């Protein structure tokens, strides 16, 4: 049963969004003009000792955290649920358990208050984040986005809200996944990306001539599997027993720096190819969790400078999963003239950008 949508002529009040696609539980409230009224993120720590996200544990943690988190965010904004005009939730892609918990919670609030619900694509949210007015980017369509995260690595030409052209993507592991796996090889903690970046500051990025998979090849696809294998073989030369605690600190730092430079070089090369396919791009954008990496940002910023276009990257707190981006993606659709009320849509672990809304349950294979 669908909740009745708010009348288009009614004054638009704040929008509340929930994000639970992986292991971060997030809630945010934005005014209709994009002003951030309040936000909150609870990061789960139980997965660290397990070396990665356990979907069932993550889903249960979301369920426990959401009531308190939503109440806290409302309090920060000096609002009540009755003040919210529209609810939104990440409905895919991601870990299905978490998606069901978060989107169902937002749908329940929408139904109880007779408000519309917007089903948000997690990838679309990352892509549109740099257009958030409070960031001051003044970013106009069309622009090119390099999406780099733990689960996704794509080159996307952003033509307008809801119209995206995928120019290339990963054919094996995403960049973030490669960072985590190499960090594990080096005996670092989880999540591995930040730990590896920190260690790399102590090393030389030209210490080891690691491969740059697909660099110079036509197209905009990515491959990091061969790079990971090369790192593994390199580490084995120093640590044949597999006891990562035995790795010399300087060796580990040099490997981390060399690996990080290899990834940045590949991303820069792919961006060059993508811009050749998008001659009308007004800017180069990097988004997603790995966009927090400074070496990667610098490499892409140089590519943008070479093409005489601006480079944009969200602040670090908006690179990783958050609900501000989910709320803004929903508002972008409202600003584009849509009046979505997608309370019947199903959570979905895979949701291509080419599909405007997730499939209903009977269409999910």
pLDDT digit string, tens, across residues 292-349 = 999 999 999 999 999 999 999 999 999 999 999 999 999 999 999 998 889 999 999 9
pTM attached to this predicted model = 0.90
pLDDT digit string, tens, across residues 26-58 = 999 999 999 999 999 998 766 455 566 788 888
pLDDT of residue 156: 97
3-state secondary structure of 10: coil
Question: Is 122 within any annotated ligand binding site?
Answer: yes
Question: Is 293 within any annotated ligand binding site?
Answer: yes
Residue 8's pLDDT band (boundaries 50, 70, 90)? Answer: very low
pLDDT of residue 44: 72
Residue 9's pLDDT band (boundaries 50, 70, 90)? Answer: very low
Q: What percent of the chain has pLDDT over 70?
A: 90
Q: How far apart are CA 278 and CA 296, in angstroms?
A: 21
How many C-beta atoms lie closer than 10 Å to residue 102's C-beta?
29
How many C-beta atoms lie closer than 10 Å to residue 339's C-beta?
13
pLDDT digit string, tens, across residues 312-322 = 999 999 999 99
pLDDT of residue 361: 41
Residue 4: pLDDT above 80?
no
Question: Is 140 within any annotated ligand binding site?
Answer: no
Instruction: Write out the H or E segment, with its range, that includes residue 39.
Output: strand 36-43
Question: Is 216 within any annotated ligand binding site?
Answer: no
pLDDT of residue 43: 85
Q: How far apart are CA 323 and CA 67, in angstroms?
A: 15
Question: Is 300 within any annotated ligand binding site?
Answer: no
Count Cα neighbours of 158 within 13 Å in the Cβ-side half-sphere: 25
Cis previous bond, 306, omega within 30: no
Which has the closest alpha carbon to 357: 41, 117, 97? 117
Under 8 Å between Cβ of 198 and 247: no
Q: What percent of the chain has pLDDT over 90?
A: 78
Please tell me the chain's helix, strand, coil percentages from 3-state DSSP, rounded to the nearest 5. Answer: 45, 15, 40
User: What is the edge-to-edge ordering of all strands in the sheet holding 86-92?
Assistant: 36-43, 24-30, 15-19, 86-92, 117-121
Question: Is 148 within any annotated ligand binding site?
Answer: yes
Under 8 Å between Cβ of 59 and 36: no
Question: Is 321 within any annotated ligand binding site?
Answer: yes
pLDDT of residue 357: 64
Could you tell me how far CA 109 lies from the centroid of its own chain? 25
Whether the CA torsion 352, 356, 358, 359 is positive or negative: it is: negative
pLDDT digit string, tens, across residues 147-202 = 998 777 999 999 999 999 999 999 998 898 899 999 999 999 778 899 999 999 99
pLDDT of residue 51: 62
Average pLDDT over the chain, rounded to whole?
A: 90
- Measure the N-to-C terminal CA separation of the chain; round to a whole number of Å: 23
pLDDT of residue 160: 95
- The mean per-residue pLDDT over the stretch 136-146 comes to 94
Question: Is 205 within any annotated ligand binding site?
Answer: no
Q: How far apart are CA 81 and CA 87, in angstroms?
A: 10
Residue 360: pLDDT above 50?
no
pLDDT digit string, tens, across residues 79-89 = 999 999 999 99
Q: How far apart are CA 33 and CA 311, in angstroms?
A: 24
pLDDT of residue 12: 66
pLDDT of residue 149: 85
Q: How far apart are CA 199 and CA 79, in angstroms?
A: 43
Question: Is 239 within any annotated ligand binding site?
Answer: no
Least confident of 120-124, 209-213, 289-293: 289-293
Q: How far apart are CA 272 and CA 8, in angstroms?
A: 43
3-state secondary structure of 168: strand
Residue 213 has which token pair? 């998979």
Question: Is 150 within any annotated ligand binding site?
Answer: yes
Question: Is 72 within any annotated ligand binding site?
Answer: no
CA distances from 49 to 45, 78, 167, 197, 361 (A): 8, 37, 37, 20, 35
* Helical H segments across 165-244, by residue range: 175-185, 192-200, 225-238
Backbone region of residue 187 per phi and psi (left: phi > 0; alpha: psi in -120 to 50; beta: other values)? left
Q: How far apart are CA 17 and CA 75, in angstroms?
A: 15
Residue 324 has which token pair? 């501000």
Q: How far apart are CA 194 and CA 199, in angstroms?
A: 9
pLDDT digit string, tens, across residues 251-282 = 999 999 999 999 999 999 999 999 999 999 99
Residue appearing with tokens 């690996």: 259
pLDDT of residue 222: 94
Question: Is 151 within any annotated ligand binding site?
Answer: yes
Instruction: Write out the H or E segment, with its range, that includes residue 276.
Output: helix 249-277
Residue 24: pLDDT above 50?
yes
């Amino acid at each position: 049963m669908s909740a009745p949508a708010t009348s288009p002529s009614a004054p638009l009040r704040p929008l509340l969004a929930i994000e639970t696609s992986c292991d971060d539980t997030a809630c945010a409230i934005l005014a209709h003009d994009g002003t951030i009224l309040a936000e909150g993120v609870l990061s789960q720590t139980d997965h660290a000792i397990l070396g990665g996200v356990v979907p069932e544990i993550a889903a249960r943690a979301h369920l426990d955290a959401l009531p308190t988190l939503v109440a806290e965010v409302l309090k920060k904004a000096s609002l009540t649920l009755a003040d919210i005009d529209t609810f939104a939730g990440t409905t895919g892609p991601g870990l299905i358990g978490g998606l069901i918990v978060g989107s169902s919670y937002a749908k329940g609030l929408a139904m109880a208050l007779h408000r519309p619900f917007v089903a948000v694509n997690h990838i679309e949210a990352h892509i549109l984040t740099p257009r958030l007015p409070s960031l001051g980017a003044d970013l106009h369509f069309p622009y090119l986005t390099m999406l780099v995260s733990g689960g996704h690595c794509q080159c996307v030409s952003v033509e307008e809200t809801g119209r995206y052209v995928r120019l290339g993507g990963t054919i094996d592991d995403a960049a973030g996944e490669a960072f985590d796996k190499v960090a594990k090889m080096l005996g670092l903690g989880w999540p591995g990306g930040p730990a590896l970046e920190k260690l790399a500051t102590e090393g030389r990025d030209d210490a080891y001539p690691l491969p740059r998979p697909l660099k110079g090849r036509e197209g905009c696809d990515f491959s990091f599997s061969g790079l990971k294998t090369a790192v593994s073989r390199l580490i084995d030369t120093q640590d044949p027993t597999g006891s990562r605690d035995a790795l010399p600190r300087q060796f580990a730092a040099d490997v981390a720096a060399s690996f990080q430079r290899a990834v940045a070089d590949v991303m820069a090369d792919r961006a060059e190819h993508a811009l050749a396919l998008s001659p009308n791009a007004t800017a180069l954008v990097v988004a997603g969790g790995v966009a927090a990496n400074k070496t990667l940002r610098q490499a892409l910023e140089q590519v943008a400078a070479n093409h005489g276009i601006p480079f944009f990257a969200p602040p670090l707190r908006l690179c990783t999963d958050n609900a501000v981006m989910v709320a803004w993606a929903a508002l972008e659709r409202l600003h584009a003239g849509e009046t979505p009320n997608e309370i019947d849509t199903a959570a979905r672990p895979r949701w291509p950008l080419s599909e405007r809304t997730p499939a209903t349950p009977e269409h999910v294979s």
